[in-house]
Structure formats: C-alpha cells, structure tokens
Amino acid sequence: MKKIFKTFIIMILALVVCIPMQTIAKASTVTNMDSKKDVVVSKPWTVSFNKVLSTTTVNTTNIKVLSQDGNYIDIKVSLENNNKNVVVQPVKDYEYNKTYTLIVTDQVKSSDGKFLPSEVRMNFTTKSEPAKSEPTKPSEFTVCIDPGQYYSVIKGSSGIKAKDINLSTALKLGSILKARGFNVVYTRTTDSVAWTQSGEDDAKALIAKNANANVFLSINTNDSDVNTANGIETYYTTGLSKNKTLATFVQAELIKATQAKDRGIQVGSTTILNKTSCPSIVTYLGFLSNPAEQSLLISAQYQNNAAKAIANGLMNYAGFANTDTTYDNTLKISSIPDITGSVTVGGTYTLPKTVTAIMSNGSKQTVSVSWLKSVATSVVGSTTYYGTVVGAVINAKADITVKAAPTTSKYKVVLDPGHGGYDSGAVGPTGVMEKTVNLAIALKVGAVLTKNNVETIYTRNSDKVSWTSNVTQNLQAICDISNNAKPNYFVSIHANSADAVSASGTETYTYAGSAASSKLAQAIQTNIVNATGSTDRGIRTANYYVIKNTDATAVLVETGFISNSAQEKLLNNAAYQTKVANAIAKGILNTLGITSITY
C-alpha cells in the first residue's frame, strides 16, 4: 500500500482536486486529505483524475458532500477535460461558517474498468457570514410573512378555521408592507402548500433563508378549553436579542389597534422560532374559542387593524418614519355599569368625566361621558342622572343619593307633595298642574326645616313616584313611608279645586279626635293666612286616607284653589310659593317649640 500512495497524488490548486487513478486492486481504506478553510459558499470543486473516467460511475451516489449534521447536500456533478475532471457544484450555496466533507467513493472507475484504490475525503469549512448593513429604508428590507397553522384543526363555533383567518390577515399585511415599499415573501398565499406536516417548519425556514429575509413574522390564532380566555400574545426566542425587540414593538401596536387584553410577550418553544436564522416572532391575534373574539377575528375591519398594527410595529422596530398610525375602532360598547354615589344635603357631588365601558370583546375601556345635568344636592332623596357616550347607543347612568346632614335633632318631619307622576291632581284654567305646585312648595318647606336642624323626609322629591296607579296602594305607600320613618309630624301639601271658579282661600285638615293634629293645623293655617292674605277657610276634619292611616300627628294643607284663575296665577309664582312654604315651615317649627327660625 505504501507503494500505491507514493504515486497517489491529491492536490488542491485553485479549484482543483487531483486524484491519480491506479491500476491495482482497490483497497478498503479511506484517505483523508488536508482540510480547507474560508471556502466561499458557492465554490465548485474540480476533481482531476490521471485517467479517463467511466461516465456511468460519475454520479451523486459515488461523489457527494456531507454536512456537519450528517445530511447529504444536493449537488450537481459533471465531467470536463475529456472525462478526466469531475466538477462538484452545490445546487444551493453552502451555509456560512459550516463544515462539510467532500467524498469520492471507491466506486468511481476509469474507462478501462479500474476502481479508485480507496475512498477519498476532504473536509472544508465555509467563510463566516459577512456582516449585513442595516437597512435604511423599506426597499432594503425583506419580510417573510407566515400564515401559520396550516395543519391545525382549530376552528370557531361558526366553523371558520384558524388557518383561513391567518391567511386573510397575512395577505392584508403583505399588501400594506408592499405599499410602504417593503420586499415581501410569503410561506403560502393560498390554501395549498408543497410541504408535508413533518417538514413544515424546515420548509418555512428555507423560504425565509432563500429570500434573505430580515424578519420572519408568523400570524396565528389562539384556542382554549375555557371560552372566556381572551387577548393577544407574541412569542420569541432568546437566540437573538432582536427577537425580543421585534416582539415588543409588534405586541404594543396590536394592543393599541385592537384594544384587546394584553397577554404580553413570552419566550416560546415553537419549532419554527428555532429554525429561522433571522429575527422571528409568532403572534396570536385572539382566541377563536371565545365567541366575542371570534366575531372580531373574522371581520375584515379587525384583520385590517391587526395587519396595520404589525406593519407599524415593524416600522418602529426598523426605525423607519411612519405617519399612518391611526386605527379604526372595531369594538362596540356592550354595556356601561351604573354609577352609585351619595352626598350630604347641601354638599357638592361632581359626576365623573369618564366611565368604564364593557366592550364587545369583553374588555374594559375608559370612555368620555357628557352628563345631561349636574347633581342637585339641596333636597334629601335619590335621583338618577344620565350621560351620553360617543359611539354608544346606551347611556351612562348614575344613581346619586342625597343624604340628610348628620344631626342631633330629636325632630323629624315627613312632607308629602300631593299627587305626582301619572297623577296630575287638579288642573287650573291655564293648565297649571297641582302636582307641580305641591312639589315646589314642599321642597321649599323642607329646605327651611333642614336649615333649622329638623330631619326632613319626602314621600317624593321629583315627579317620579315609586308607587303604582292603584289609588289605594298609592295612598298606602305614602303612609308606609311616614310610618317607617316614625316622624313627629306628617304634613301633606295640596292645592284645592271646586266647580265654582270663584272659590278661594286656604284650609287645613285633620283627622277627627287628634288634639295634636289640630294644634299643628292651626299653627300652619294661621301663618299662611297672615303671610299671604289668603281667605281663611279654617281648620276642618276629614277622613282623608293619608291623615287617617299615618301613625304620626298628621295634617293636610290646601294652600289655595287652583281652579280659581287668580289663585292659579299666584300658586304658579315662585315668590308666592316661597311665602306659603315659609309659613308652613314656621307653623311646623313653632309647634315643635322652635321660635328662632333661619330661612
């Protein structure tokens, strides 16, 4: 064998490997040649023999290139120099900074039938990848877009498949990027692929590699056994620092565009992330298993927003100027939780400028609200206030309770503004309604009582009533308010009416047999007559339901005849109402023993 290999010459000169063909029996050994370094990735090897070769033995079975991970590389072999040279060319460039082995097996023969005496191997290592200059504009930037989950069985309750949503969104993203000047390649553009499920990730990575892509963006749709799971998340690997940067920018824009729950960026173990050599992310645009998010994911508007968000995130990542940063509102307001609050009478309550709305995807969003009126705090009671929200068909609602000021007073009075709501009471010649007059006077009475440290409770403090239209139930509800409050006095305020339009004056009623009621009635009656000059129709007894069925000392005041045009005019006058109210309040306070009165 020593004699054989003295004449066995292999030379690497320029691109040539020279192997002399011997005429002796073949050997079973392997000859390893000196390894080569810094080989260009496209380099063809020319293997030169000292004899004409048998063309049938010059093929990729007998001559091959092995990668460092044990895979054979696709090559082309051809003959030159009258069949004495074999040229070995990679079908695609070798990878940078990788080691390969060129193999010429002992099955190669000369034209006279002599085999190569032994298999010959030579290791070579390619050059390191030259540093890329950072793109300065979109036309220098290539994006590989991957509509993911082609083989996934994920689908929504409507039957829509994740892969179809991903493809639709990916194509929208590609259109946006192309319009902005980017170079775009896709892993697929239709519902058909050339790869098998097992080879999917390798095929995608190769597409990105062959395109020399600057980034790889995989678009996917999430799924969960819990149909309330929601939100957007983006995955990356720690292999490249730029992966996290890319994920951060894209995730931020997706949340801004969709207003979805931010599930954040996460380190992922998705195979494709470990296959690609450029910065790569896998983003999940929402949960197809969530009915609310499904309706969004299948909408073109939502897909457009998501695609634009990914494009904007990429622009931010690449440092490119971008002015198209606004998004369409894809969410609708489903509900606005009611606001409840309380304030002490005479205090200040400011309704909020914003409220929390529940959106169509179940998320919460702060929205501006314009209230139709401000909170009135002069009267104890509860009132509902409404506000409008732009883009919502429902109103914001605030239920505000005005509470009596803390007091050490032992006195409590229930004021009953007669009628209200559906019941107008008597109506004057010009249409003035008794219920309106009664309420205005009662509120003025209550204001004076409150100033004089008397707790005041109303059976109603607006034209809204809590009782039904059943008369008996109506009257009993009024009595129940008083009986539950356990006041010192119950004062029901009314305006009179008669067929005789000339009837006029003031009268006050009690239930027969109550000396305390008569004393209160006389005080109120006297003060009204003195304050207004109204005709004194005196103190009377009657079986009116509200003064008969209240536990407290009770009276019913008929302040004047609304059926009389002159008194109707007076009763509808704010100044006259104040005179009447102050007189009623004075009668109540004097009867309670309070003589120093604040109005």
pLDDT digits (tens, 9 = 90+) for 22-78: 433 344 588 999 999 999 999 999 998 889 999 999 999 999 999 999 999 999 999
Domain endpoint, select from 283, 318, 353: 318
pLDDT at 167: 96
Query: Per the structure block, which two tokens stand in for 9?
Result: 């010459």
Rounded distance between C-alpha atoms, residue 459 and residue 381, angstroms: 9
Domain endpoint, select from 275, 290, 318: 318
pLDDT at 233: 97
In DSSP notation, 41-77 reads TTPPEEEEESSPBPGGG-STTTEEEEETTS-BPPEEE
Using DSSP bridges, classify how beta strands 280-287 and 232-236 pair: parallel, antiparallel or unpaired: antiparallel
544 occurs within a structural domain: yes
370 occurs within a structural domain: yes
DSSP-based three-state secondary structure for 114: coil
Q: Rounded to a whole number, what is the largest CA-CA distance in the chain?
A: 150
pLDDT at 466: 78
Rounded distance between C-alpha atoms, residue 189 and residue 175, angstroms: 12
323 occurs within a structural domain: no
The CB density around residue 542, as the number of other CB atoms within 10 Å, is: 13
Q: Are residues 98 and 175 in the same domain?
A: no
The segments of the chain whose pLDDT lies below 70 read 1-28, 361, 407-408
Rounded distance between C-alpha atoms, residue 111 and residue 109, angstroms: 6
The CB density around residue 123, as the number of other CB atoms within 10 Å, is: 16
CA-based nearest residue to 395, from 337, 465, 463, 462? 337
Q: Are residues 163 and 113 in the same domain?
A: no
Q: Are residues 550 and 422 in the same domain?
A: yes
538 occurs within a structural domain: yes
DSSP-based three-state secondary structure for 2: helix
Q: 193 with 186: CB under 8 angstroms?
A: no
131 occurs within a structural domain: no
Domain count, the chain: 4
The CB density around residue 597, as the number of other CB atoms within 10 Å, is: 14
Domain that holds residue 236: 138-318
Q: Are residues 399 and 450 in the same domain?
A: no
Q: 264 with 232: CB under 8 angstroms?
A: no
Rounded distance between C-alpha atoms, residue 291 and residue 154, angstroms: 14
29 occurs within a structural domain: yes
Cα→Cα distances 588→192, 323, 490, 519, 554, Å: 90, 72, 10, 10, 11
DSSP-based three-state secondary structure for 480: helix
597 occurs within a structural domain: no
Rounded distance between C-alpha atoms, residue 93 and residue 130, angstroms: 14
Q: Are residues 181 and 235 in the same domain?
A: yes
Q: Are residues 258 and 311 in the same domain?
A: yes
Helical packing angle, 515-532 and 574-592, nearest 10°: 140
Q: Are residues 186 and 96 in the same domain?
A: no
Rounded distance between C-alpha atoms, residue 415 and residue 454, angstroms: 12
Query: Per the structure block, which two tokens stand in for 498?
Result: 């008669």
Q: Are residues 390 and 457 in the same domain?
A: no
pLDDT at 408: 66
pTM here is: 0.45
Q: Are residues 310 and 427 in the same domain?
A: no
Intra-chain end-to-end CA distance of the chain, in Å:
130
CA 321, chain centre distance (Å): 27
pLDDT at 267: 93
Q: Are residues 417 and 399 in the same domain?
A: no
Q: Are residues 287 and 181 in the same domain?
A: yes
Q: Are residues 497 and 479 in the same domain?
A: yes
The CATH number of whichever domain residue 565 belongs to comes to 3.40.630.40
pLDDT at 436: 96
Rounded distance between C-alpha atoms, residue 269 and residue 168, angstroms: 25
Domain endpoint, select from 64, 98, 126: 126
Query: Per the structure block, which two tokens stand in for 556?
Result: 């019913």
In DSSP notation, 442-493 reads HHHHHHHHHHTT-EEEES-SSS--SS-S-HHHHHHHHHHHHHHH--SEEEEE
CB-based burial, 453-468: b 16+ in 10 Å, e otherwise: ebbbbbbbbbeebebe
DSSP-based three-state secondary structure for 295: helix
Q: Which residues contact 476 (CB under 8 A, 6 or more apart)?
A: 545, 549
The CATH number of whichever domain residue 339 belongs to comes to 2.60.40.10
Residue 550 DSSP one-character state? -
Q: 428 with 419: CB under 8 angstroms?
A: no
27 occurs within a structural domain: yes
